[in-house]
Amino acid sequence: MITSLYLIKHMVYENYTRSIAYLRSPFDKHANWKKQAELLGLSKEAKQRLEWLIYYETKANKNASQTCRHFSMAPKVFYTWKNRFDGKNLRLLESKSKAPIKKRRRAITPEEESRIVALRKQHIRWGKMKMARLYKNIYGSSISSWKVQYTIQKYHLYYHPKKNTILQAKRKRNQSKKRITELTKKPFPGYLIALDTLVIHWNGTKRYILTAIDTVSKIAFARMYTTKSSRNAADFLGRMVYLLDDSVLNTLNDNGSEFHKEFISACEKLRLTQYWSRVHTPTDNPMDERFNRTLKEEFIQLGNYTDDVLLFNQRLTEWLVEYTFVRPHQALGYETPWEFYQKTAHVLPMYSSRTKPCFF
């Protein structure tokens, strides 16, 4: 009984001393802010603003000018968030909603909408301009073609609804893609790399060779894979970027499935701008098409092909070394890509050097 009481008193004393030690320990408010930001689920932008203020109070010793120089931002921006900041309410670091207070109301009335639906069902193949004219002839009042189009889209009043949905999704995807015709090319290595995929059929097997070339220095890379997946394309991109010393800014590729999903994520991770060639327009990517031809004529057709991925990539690497360091190129004034790259690859004033992550 005495032993049990002694143990209980000892445990109470230990808990008490630990509590006192915790209360006497220095409170790190900056670490606490970071924990609060994680618990509150603040956005990436809000966390970045919190880093500004932590740097301002710690490393900069509350020197606003030093903080602005360190993060390359205008003093006006820094003071805006500094004045708004409250350590007890970190949500104030979030951007305020820019949505208008008075939102635009729907211009079409329920009566107009019901009339358009009835007319559309009677004339399912008519376009919006004809429908607007028919509406005026029947009801004696004008209606805009926009209202007709809005109603058709809202109630999905199409002759082939499923086909129309697929077509609209395709148009939306094509509009969001940056086409290579929009890019103004610059004459320095790494500004644009072009990528493509070679499909090889051999003795009932299929292999995929991803290829890439720097459009200025002509430094190229290729690698065989067993599948044409976006994961393999992302792996290949990381290797090509590493080969060019992380100096790549833009990529060019066709509309193949391997250049979507994980490949797009890889471009975002490496901070690369992705450009697409136009559909059925191989002339948008002439340099990589020419490299593919060289790869076939000077390597594959000379008996170097095998469907063993490991062995093929070993042979291919040896050939790529010769292609880059030994083979003269007519387009480069009969210099090798490496010789040309060494002469021209330097950090230009308007394009700062960047450190990007590479993954394999």
DSSP letter assigned to residue 104: P
Question: H or E segment at 208?
Answer: strand 205-214
Q: Would you give the distance in Å from CA 191 to the centre of its chain?
A: 17
Of the candidates 347, 178, 349, 348, the one whose C-alpha atom is nearest the C-alpha of residue 272 is 178
Burial per residue of 95-131, b for 16 or more beta-carbon CB atoms within 10 angstroms, e otherwise: eeeeeeeeeeeeebeeebbebbeebbeeeeeeebeeb
Q: Is the pLDDT of residue 12 over 50?
A: yes
List the beta bridge partners of residue 196: 211
**Would you state the pLDDT for residue 336?**
95
Q: Per-residue confidence at 4, pLDDT binned at 50, 70, 90?
A: low
Sign for the CA dihedral angle at 345, 349, 351, 354 comes to: positive
pLDDT digits (tens, 9 = 90+) for 325-351: 999 999 999 999 999 998 886 544 333
Closest CA to 274 of 292, 252, 293, 248: 252
Helices marked H in the chain — which ranges? 2-24, 29-40, 44-57, 64-71, 75-84, 110-122, 128-139, 145-155, 161-176, 230-243, 262-269, 286-298, 309-325, 337-344
* Residue among 234, 209, 213, 212 nearest 223 (CA): 209
**212-254 pLDDT tens trace:** 999 999 999 999 999 999 999 999 999 999 999 888 999 999 9
Token code pair at residue 107: 């211009």
Residue 144 neighbours by CB under 8 Å, 6+ apart = 132
- Give the CA angle between residues 228, 176, 212 to the nearest 5°: 35
pTM beyond 0.75, yes or no:
no
CA atoms within 13 A on the CB side of 221: 16
**For residue 356, what pLDDT is reported?**
42
Grade residue 174 by pLDDT with cuts at 50, 70 and 90: low
pLDDT digits (tens, 9 = 90+) for 113-170: 999 999 999 999 999 999 999 999 999 999 999 999 999 989 989 888 888 888 877 7
Show the tokens assigned to 246: 């992380």
DSSP label of 300? G
Give pLDDT tens digits for 61-75. Answer: 999 999 999 888 899
